Structure 1
Amino acid sequence: MPRRIARIAAALLALEAVGVLALVGWQIVALAGADTVDPVSAVALIVLTAVGAVAVGAFAAATRAGRSWGRSGGIVTQFLIIAVAVGAITGPYAHPGTAAALAVPAVAGLVLLFLAAREAHTGDEPAREE
């Protein structure tokens, strides 16, 4: 039975999966509107982004179920999002608003996932090995 922090972390991961799916939709619209330089690369990027959305959704479901691999994958996801946020705040086309919109939930997710891992290894129930 997942505990409260794990459920909140899973909900945040699920929202991030929905956000990545929205990005897939945006990429499809760009491809359909001929707003891409290389259609083959655009299709490959759409497929990879969709795979990423499925992975983040799987991490959310696994975190909700109390599986350690879901928390681990979620932690890696948060670090990747933070890396994108750092990229959004640097360079000639820096956009602090975008960086903050990415970094704030990622840092919150990172904290929640670490707390969920700690929560999973405390209490009356023995820790599950996976």
Structure 2
Amino acid sequence: MPDTTPDDQVVPRGRPAALLVLIVVVGLEFLAMAAVTVFLLVELLTAAAANVASAIALVVLAVLATVWLGAMLAGLRRGRAWVRSGIIVWQVLQGALAIGAFQGASRVPAVGWALLIPALLAITLVLSKSVTAALVRRD
């Protein structure tokens, strides 16, 4: 069902601080994912890939993840209730990547913490009472 609510009537003027922090966290994640996508695309075009099909698939997945985060950020800024589930899914996936960065032969704990801390913060914020109340469906 298309959203026909005008943008100026979407979110009340007073946004809770937790919602603003969540917007910043998701916005930073969006920018980071966009940067990773650009990096992967440049690498695909300039470096010789060991497996071209896998490299293309990785770029496509990165583009999809960037679009997803962009949609979550836009919905969050407009106060849409549907973004809560998408944000939680993204944070769980990001947390899984963080756990992988802590393990294995090529572990990089700094990357793990850089992924895990925002994921935990975003899950905490998206489930907080003030954010839930701000994102309540206003149909």
TM-score range, shorter chain: 0.7 to 0.9
- RMSD, matched Cα: 2.0
What is the identity, as a one-letter code, of the residue corresponding to 2:34? L
* TM-aligned CA distance change 1:49 to 1:55, over 3 Å: same
Conservation of the 8 A alpha-carbon contact between 1:66 and 1:120: no
**What SS does structure 1 have at the residue aligned with 2:82?**
helix
Structure 1 match to 2:46? 33
Give the CA deviation at 1:121. Answer: 5.0
1:48 partnered with 2:61:
yes
Amino acid at match of 1:27: L
| Secondary structure in structure 2 of the residue aligned to 1:68 | coil
Letter in 2 for 1:119: S
Kept in 2: contact 1:88–1:94 (CA 8 A) = yes
The answer (yes or no) to whether the contact 1:59–1:74 under 8 Å persists in 2 is: yes
Q: How many residues align?
A: 125
Deviations 1:87-123 (Å, cap 9, x if unpaired)?
Answer: 00011111111111111111111111111xx225548
Specify the alignment match of 1:73 in structure 2: 86
**1:23 matches 2:36:** yes
Counterpart of 1:107 in structure 2: which amino acid?
L
Q: Which residue of 2 aligns with 1:128?
A: 137
Matched, 1:113 2:126: yes
Cα distance in 1 between the residues matched to 2:103 and 2:132 = 38
Deviation at 1:128, TM superposition (A): 1.6
Identity %: 33
Unpaired runs of at least 5, structure 1: none
| Farther off after superposition, 72-81 or 24-33 | 24-33
SS at match of 1:36: coil
Higher helix share: 1
TM-score, length of structure 2 as denominator length: 0.80
TM-score, length-scaled by structure 1: 0.85
Aligned amino acid, residue 38 of structure 2: G
Contact 1:61 1:70 in 2 (8 A): no
- Deviation string, structure 1 residues 23-68 (Cα, Å, up to 9, x no partner): 1111112212324211222122212211111111111111222212
Unaligned runs of 5+ in 2: 1-10
Q: Distance in 2 between matches of 1:56 and 1:12?
A: 11
